[in-house]
Structures are given as structure tokens and as C-alpha cells.
Chains A and B, each alone.
Chain A
């Protein structure tokens, strides 16, 4: 064997050991960062509205990656009220599969125009803050996710959650971090006394 090849293998092994050592040291920190920033990928920017917290029956479950299928949905819409029937399959624990049939009534008391203004504003804000994590680019990690958040009556963003995970924590976290940066200039876009809820599908794609 040539001495050059021997040197290459020696240097490779050394660098590999150094990299692995650093990796194990830093993995912990990265996880800790996740825990601080977002337990089960929901970030609380402000204190959630008291009344909401009580009614979030599913909120306390770790919702990320759990919802695997939704069946039998029916929608009946009137001008002011929408009834939604959904069967939700929750797979939070591989051994326990829960199926739930839920009927929901949604009041829609806002003018569509005003909502469009809000949507466009949020879209512009999100485009400003969206980023593709560099390590995900390098690893060719791609995926689709759904992030939800609520806009409080004071215009603050809270309750950021991943409803459907991309399969990669780094991408989920990037979506959460981007949403967290949204700032509404004032509450003129919000009409409710109660928080406004939004959900947003996000695709991370590499060309």
C-alpha cells in the first residue's frame, strides 16, 4: 500500500473520531434547545387566552406526527355557520389507536374581505421569515407539514403547533420559528375578542 493511501485512511479515521465526539457532545444541546424552544413543537409566544386553554381538549396530547388519517368528512356550509363531521385517527402511541368522531360548529362572523387582507399580510410576513435549514439542505431532507397558530386579540401570535410533521424535526422547527417571527402592526386586522386560528401547509422542496 502506498504511504499516501495510508495517510489518507489515518487522517479520515482521525477526523471521523473528532466529528463523532463533537457530534455526541452537541446533540444534547440541540435537543435541549428543542425542549426550551418548543415542547412537542408548540411555541408559546404569549400567554394563551385563559378560555382557550380550557377548551383545548386535544391540545395537551403531543399532536405532532400523530394524526395519520382523516376520514368521512362532510361539510355543510351556510352563510354564517359551518358544520364539520370528522373521524380522526390518532396514533399517539403505536399500541393505542384512537378513533374519534367529532362534530364541530364554526361561526363565521367576519367579512371575507377583511380576512383576505389579513391572509395576504400573514403571507407576506411568512415569506419574509421562511428559511430552509442549512443542515436539511445538505442532507437533502424534504417534506410537507402543517403548522397552526392563533392570533390573539392584541395581534400577538401564540400557540404555534405542528399539526402534521414533515418527518424531520429540523424542518418542523424551521416552520415554527418562521411563524413565531410574524408581527402584526396592530389589532386592526382582527375583529374578534377571541383569538383567530390559522393553519398553514408548508412544503420544503429542493430543486
Chain B
């Protein structure tokens, strides 16, 4: 009413309509930060992106991050058994170390292994995940060949928010967590603590001996934010997860005797500080400084076998210059230092290496064409300078259809293991390099959203063991041709997401030239649907994957499989929700990982989980 009154006041002598006011027009946008290193509308992004928010995580039947990602188009994964065992996540058919993982803007990975321990990042600590498919090295540097995953830790709602959660399920799996969030004036804060444990199942299939391989994880996230004024704000987050995982078939470092009594103490930590600033003019930007830790201490029959402690320090300073609404220039500088502490490397091994990089991006929009260009120069203490670039075009055919075309180069720095591991490492290795091209079309209709992207990625200088010297060498090449079709739609109130992913990766060098890359399935189909029935919410999902090869000459393979999960939520009142899930309803026996040394890794049969959530 107020608006009308003001209006009638201001124009009192003019006749007006009695109900000249609409309901508020809301101009709300879904935002992605990761694609171009600044907040932008998902519709403006020229990349293939997926956003997983807290609701999606709670709705999903996935109990760990690798499984959650495996339900997203373009992803594939393998693990050494369920519940916190070593997992590899593949994006767009690339290697597990070819995806950059950021947590609150800070890179989280093991500098020794070169990949991220997704299996140790508790879903309870995750608020939102942004996924960008395709190369991003010209903005982020090393690792961003297959894409970028950015995880944002739990923050709760800004108004006072208390959420507690208690759950129990198959294999004596227990979960308990509590979150408290609030704000006071210009400050906001949150604290989230979680504990989970399970007896697990036997990680490796055996004919004779059986032992359950359990998992235990304690984690906490604390956040603090302060908005000084509309121009300056500060955010700090701290996440720590630690625990223990039991696994099978470890080799004693000195006696070389096998055992199934193996376990490892792990710790994952991210500390991120962001200062955002904006002027009333064309300039704004942010300064991010933080550290991350990936620690892993392994025991053979309770005797310490080997340990790696890696630490990452990141500092980024990004300046955005919005010359006009349609012309943006981004200038950025990144500093990174990786430190590895282990007794495994020879005595004279460097403890750390640093990397300084500068990048420039120019994002412009014209009447019928969007152009994003970025160039980046990395200067690495170990391998020296490396340049990357990318260019992307977007063309809106009409208000619902958009075409994209892009090219990007990317690289991955050699890991500390590649460089310094005894009898394998070579300290003069060059980075692995890639070039990708991609075409995409997306449709944004009122009831259906869909996208189709087709890409080809050529990777050169891949590091592998040289057959003559058995040491690391930049000898391999690979080519991946693939695509994803993703659609979101509703049929009779069933909210549905469906995706088809195809990633045909082949070896392009050596004796196995023309053979499929190992461990990844070429074909993946995902289907997820949910619907509210009053106080009940029903959801179901299907994951089906094709055959995958387990050795380089493609002489052995694992057949495809399909798994159906279903869940039901019951809202007892507006604060309490009871939910029950049955995963792998058909109790299908399937395999996603095996090798000649370890044999076949187990997967979960039919299992249930019941959860009670209290939320105010």
C-alpha cells in the first residue's frame, strides 16, 4: 500500500488507477563464483557449470563426497572400498589430479600425491559446491585441466540458526552433528561440529579372511564475517577434519610383507581469509590469504609405515575493473607455496616450492556476442615459466537458446612424488599440458533447462614410468572426446534432473596407443527425481555406468552396473524432520575398482540409514 500512497501524494492531481501496484518484481539471480573468479550470474557464464547447494546434499543419498560427485554429469570415480578409503575422482575423463579443488578459495590437495582427498571431506561441513567443467588454468594455474571444484564450508543462516542431526544405519554407521549460527550487528558467525563412525565392510574381496575396515571422522567448521560498510567486508573460515581409516593389503616398508591390518590417521584443514572491497566507481576486488593441510600417517599392523604432511599457502589479489556494464577487465596475482614433510624422500629434497602468477581476463558482452579472454603466466620455482590462455564466445540465438564455443590450454605441475620419490622421481620434469576445445548449447525454458556440451581434450607430456629406466618421464599422450547432456525439468510435480555423460579417453602414445584410458567408464547415466506429498518428500536416484578397463592394454575390464537409491523425508513439524534412505535397493553386486596387485575392491550392498534433524 505504501507505494501507492506515496505515488498518489506525489501526483495528487492526476487520476490514477486504484490498484496500480504490482506484486514486487524480483530480479533474482543464481550466482557462480568459480567460473571466472568473480561473482557472476550463471546465465552469463560461458562454461558448463553445476551448483550443488545444501538442500541437494541433504536430499542426496550419497554419504560421502566422491559418491555425491559421481552423480553429477561429467564425473567418474573409483575407490579402494567404501567409507573413507582412497578415492580418485575423474572429471571429463581426465586423471584424478587434473581437477583443481578449492575450499573457500584456498587450494586443498596433497602436494606429494597431486590430488585431493575427497573421501576425507565430510559432507556435514559443506554448504555448497560449484563445479566448472573444462580447462581453467588460464585463471587458476596448475591442475585445472578437467575442471574446477570449489567447496564452500557450512555457514548456516545469518539469522540465529541451530541445527542438530543424529543418524544411524547399516554397518553400525553413526553420525551426529550440531550447527550454531547467528549475527550481531555487522558481524556474523557460525560453528559446526560433526562426528561420524562406521564399522565398515571388508575393503578388498577375499576368499578366506574377512575383516571390516572401519572409518572415523571428527570435523569442525568455524566462520566469522564482518561487514564494515557497503564497500568493505571480511570473511574468515576454518575447517578441520581428522580421523582414522582402516584399509587392506598394505606392504611393510622394510620387510615387504603384506597385511590387511592397515590404517591411516588423516587430517584435512583449510583456513581462509577474504577481504572484499568495492568502490562506488568501476573498481572492486578481493584479497584472499589462507593455508590448507593434507596429512596422512599410515600404519602397518599398528607400526608406523610411512607419513606425508603437506601444506599449502595461498595468497590471491584480484582487481576487477568494470569499465561499462558490458566490459570487465580482471587483473590478478597469485602466490602459492607447497611444503612437503616426509621421511620418504632423499635427504637433499627441497622442502617446498613456490609459484607466482599473474593473469588478466577481459570479459565483454556485445549485442549478439559474449567474449571471455584470459591469459596467465605462472613462474614456478621448480619448472620455470608456463603460459596459458583461453577464449570463449557466447551467442544468444534468442531469449531461450545460447550457443558457446571455447578453447583453453591448461597444465599440471609435477607432483613431489614425480620429482623426488626414491627410484622413481626425476627433478627436471616438465608440467603436463593440455588443450581443449568445446562447443555447447543451452536452453532455458520456463519448465525445462537443458544443456549439451561436446569437447575434445588433448593432453601431452603426461608423466608416467619410462619402460626403460622405470623412472618418471613426460612420455605419455592422451586424447579425450566427450560430451554431457544435462536436463532439469518437472513432470507432474516430480522435480527431475537427468544427465548423460560420455568420455572416450584413449592413450595416444607408446605400446598402448589407441587403447582406452583405465579406470573410467565411457558412458554414465544419472537420473534423480523428488516430489513433495504434504509432509512427506520422496526422492529416488539411478546411477548406471558402462564398462571400464582395468589395465593399460585393455585386456581386462569391469562390466557396467546400475544402482537405485530411494529416500523418504517426513516433516514431523516445521523444526523436526525424520528421514530414511535405502541405498542399492536391488542389492546389486557390482565392482568399480580392481587391479592385479590388490584384487577386487568391495562396494556396498543394500544398506539403510535413518536420520533425525532438528532445525530452528
Contacts and interface: CB of A to CB of B under 8 A. Distances in A.
Contacts of A30: 281-282
A11 to B, nearest CB: 4
Nearest to A207: B30
A205 B29 CA distance: 7
B428 interface: no
B370 to A, nearest CB: 12
Contacts of A47: none
Given A132-B41, A199-B20, A207-B31, A4 B14 contact: no
B1 A86 contact: no
Contacts of A104: 8-9, 12
A88 interface: yes
B317 interface: yes
Interface residues of A, number: 85
B15 A108 contact: yes
Given A8-B356, A59-B10, A199-B20, A18 B331 contact: yes
B6 A67 contact: yes
A126 interface: yes
B24 A202 contact: yes
Contact of A7 (B16, B332, B356): B356
Given A23-B321, A205-B27, A55 B22 contact: no
Interface of A is mostly: mixed
Contacts of A150: 11, 14
Given A19-B331, A104-B12, A134-B328, A200 B22 contact: yes
A16 B13 CA distance: 54
B18 A203 contact: no
B31 A137 contact: yes
A58 interface: yes
* A128, A164, A201: most-surrounded residue (chain B CB, <10 A): A201
B7 A199 contact: yes
A34 to B, nearest CB: 11
Interface in A157-207: 161, 163-164, 167-169, 192, 194-207
Contact of B18 (A19, A82, A195): A82
* A24, A52, A206: most-surrounded residue (chain B CB, <10 A): A206
Contacts of A5: 335, 337, 354, 356
Interface residues on B, range: 35 or more
B278 A206 contact: no
B184 interface: no
B19 interface: yes
Given A4-B355, A135-B322, A201 B24 contact: yes
B363 to A, nearest CB: 9
Contacts of A167: 230
A96 interface: no
B21 interface: yes
B281 A107 contact: no
A70 B14 contact: no
Nearest to A163: B6
A75 B5 CA distance: 9
Interface string B14-42: 11111111111111111100000011110
B39 A138 contact: yes
B6 A15 contact: no
B320 A138 contact: yes
Interface in A40-66: 52, 55-59, 63
Nearest to A173: B325
B6 A146 contact: yes
Given A19-B331, A84-B5, A130-B27, A4 B379 contact: yes
13 contacts: A4-B356, A5-B356, A11-B358, A20-B283, A22-B321, A27-B280, A55-B14, A75-B1, A108-B17, A139-B276, A140-B276, A163-B10, A192-B15
Given A22-B321, A27-B282, 14 more contacts: A7-B379, A8-B335, A8-B356, A15-B331, A26-B281, A56-B11, A102-B12, A104-B12, A132-B41, A139-B230, A139-B284, A140-B39, A200-B25, A201-B24
Lowest 4 A-B CB distances belong to which pairs? A27-B281, A8-B335, A23-B283, A4-B354
Interface of A: 2, 4-5, 7-8, 11-12, 15-16, 18-20, 22-24, 26-27, 30, 52, 55-59, 63, 67, 70, 73, 75, 77, 82, 84, 86, 88, 102, 104, 106-110, 112, 115, 119, 122-123, 126-128, 130-135, 137-141, 144, 146, 148, 150, 161, 163-164, 167-169, 192, 194-207
Interface of B: 1-31, 38-41, 44, 230, 233, 276, 278-285, 315, 317, 319-323, 325, 328, 331-335, 337, 354-356, 358, 379, 381, 399
